[in-house]
Amino acid sequence: MNSGANPIATLVWTFGLMSLFAVGGANAAIPEMHRIAVDIQHWLTDKQFADIYAISQLSPGPNVLIVTLIGYSVAGIAGALAATLAMCGPTAMLAYGVSRFLARSSQSRWPATIQAALVPLSIGLMGASGLILAQAADRTWVAVLMTAAAAALAFATRLNPFWMLLAGGLLGFAGVV
């Protein structure tokens, strides 16, 4: 909002470019979203970023829809639409093109090699997401403990994540955090 240029154009340019580097899905791009939305453009505060991440996890749909919320807070409904389409459109077209190409060419094994090379990078990116989100959300030791407990439970059990979000919300409501 406080950048001089047209905010819609900034959103489209920012997320369109970002999507091309979002290897490993939307959660791998969280650090970059945080860097741009909080540190560079000052669209959101650290706390607000943690909040909208929580909202995006609470509601159904692909994880990428956190960009809808960023876009909305920058430029209302038009911003929400622009950010979402910019984040999803170009890579969707790329995926369409590549799948058509692969369907025509003979089944080659090169995607397996490329995938093996990209997997460690996307895990590193998602780890960085976890760190940045934890720094934004966990301001007290109790909060850190809750995050650790949720991580341990989700790692060790097949409990539906929604119950853990609900438990977090109830603990927050009770004033524990």
Residues between 98 and 117 that touch another protein (CB under 8 A): 98-100, 102-103, 111, 113-117
Please tell me whether residue 4 binds another protein under the rule CB under 8 A. Answer: no
* Binding to another protein in span 112-171, by CB under 8 A: 113-134, 136-138, 143, 146-155, 160-162, 164-165, 167-171
Give whole-number Cα distances, 147 to 19, 135, 142, in Å.
28, 11, 9
Reference 163, options 150, 176, 175, 172; nearest CA is: 150
Please tell me whether residue 78 binds another protein under the rule CB under 8 A. Answer: no
| Interface residue with another protein, options 43, 73, 82, 105 (CB under 8 A) | 73
Please tell me whether residue 42 binds another protein under the rule CB under 8 A. Answer: no
For 33-70, give the DSSP string.
Answer: HHIIIIIIS-SS-HHHHHHHHHHHHHSSS-GGGHHHHH
Contact 34, 49 (CB under 8 A): yes
| Count of residues interacting with another protein (CB under 8 A) | 108
| Shortest Cβ 16–another protein spacing (Å) | 11
Please tell me whether residue 14 binds another protein under the rule CB under 8 A. Answer: no
* Length in residues, the chain: 177
Please tell me whether residue 63 binds another protein under the rule CB under 8 A. Answer: yes
